[in-house]
Amino acid sequence: MNAVAHFRREVRAFLAAARAAARAGDAPLVPSCPGWTMSDLVLHLGGVHRGVAAVIRDRLDGPPGRAGLIAAELPPDTTGWPRFDRHPNHGPIPATLLEWAEEGADRLERLFSERSPDEPAWTWSHEQTTGFWLRMQTIEAAVHRWDAEHALGAARPIHAGIAVAAITQTFEVMAPARRAWASAPPGAGERFRFVRTDGPGAWTVCFDGEHVRLGDDGPADVEVSGGGSELLLFLWRRIPAGGLTVRGDASLLDRYFVLVPPL
């Protein structure tokens, strides 16, 4: 399955969960996104899709103004929509919100299909390509699909291929970015090892001052083992460590989220 197909599948599954919630009535709370309801989650992902589409389509040299971009692309009727400045937003999930989100996802999918992954595009990372956005948005869609299904009580695991790529992306791209955005404290040589138990994959990450170093297979202070989906969901702070196998100094797992603050 190619990357665009992964994106398509995850987004459609996300929207299917959102529609199921809409049929049930009041927008449920999303436990893995504290303070958000399903309406808030749909608005968030729909806005992200429109922002990324604008960057690629218009060849922007910086991030679009989020509020202005979303407002410019809102449908004429936003009755019952969640408010941007207040969470959680309860009440029925409006059909127009779901339609808006689906339309935005379709636009972004078409851009991913039409543009080369190597085509230059502004990103918040050192890699300035459309392919970066395709990888990042596939990961985000998969995690938020899990969030939406979890809110309904039946979350399926993250696809193995997405999970393995996303774990590497977490250490190589997301961890350094999150540390910079949150002014996280310097590392003191803490070493974490994450081992996949449902296929090949192992990652040793060391926090050395301001640096995040990946790839050293030496001994670690703590080792966490589990399926690829479980490891990713733990690293994105969707599930606790209780369902994983932990060896070594388990107290360091709290330290990990000080060194890599959650979004």
pLDDT band at 246 (very low <50, low <70, confident <90, very high): very high
With a cut of 70, say whether residue 68 has pLDDT above it: no
pLDDT of 24 over the 70 cut: yes
Query: What is the predicted pLDDT for the residue at 65?
Result: 72
- pTM for this predicted structure: 0.95
Return the CATH fold of 161-259: Nonspecific Lipid-transfer Protein; Chain A (3.30.1050)
Please report, as a single letter, which amino acid is at residue 212. Answer: V
Give the per-residue pLDDT at 216. Answer: 67
Overall average pLDDT of the 6-12 stretch: 98
User: Where do you find CATH 3.30.1050.10 in the chain?
Assistant: 161-259
What is the mean predicted confidence (pLDDT) over 73-101?
Answer: 92
Band (pLDDT 50/70/90 cuts) for residue 171 is: very high
Residue written as tokens 């927008």?
A: 27
Provide the mean pLDDT of the chain: 94
What's residue 1's pLDDT? 56
Label residues 185-207 b or e (16+ Cβ within 10 Å = b).
eebeebbbbbbbeeeebebbbbb
Amino acid at 15: L
The least confident of 103-112, 140-149, 158-167, 210-219 is: 210-219
Q: Report whether pLDDT(173) > 80.
A: yes
Nearest to 211 by CA among 234, 186, 190: 186
pLDDT at 241 over 70: yes
pLDDT at 232 over 70: yes
**CATH topology classification for 3-156:** Four Helix Bundle (Hemerythrin (Met), subunit A) (1.20.120)
Q: 89: pLDDT confidence band, cut at 50, 70 and 90?
A: very high
Please report where in the chains the tokens 């039946």 appear, as a residue: 154
> Buried b vs exposed e over 79-107: b needs ≥16 C-beta within 10 Å?
eebbeeeebbbeeebbebbbebbbebbeb
Closest CA relative to residue 46, chosen from 117, 125, 99, 111: 99
pLDDT for 63: 84
How much is the average pLDDT of 99-116? 97
Query: Does residue 41 have a pLDDT over 60?
Result: yes
Rg (CA), the chain: 19
Q: Which spans in the chain are helix H? A: 3-24, 38-57, 66-72, 95-114, 130-151, 160-169, 175-182, 228-235, 252-259
Q: Is the pLDDT of residue 30 over 70?
A: yes
Q: Is 47 in contact with 66 (CB distance < 8 Å)?
A: yes
Does an H or E element contain 206, and which?
strand 202-209
Task: Give start-end residues of each CATH 1.20.120 domain in the chain.
Answer: 3-156
Tens-digit pLDDT profile for residues 175-202: 999 999 999 999 999 999 999 999 999 9
Side-chain-side CA neighbours of 120 within 13 Å: the count stands at 4
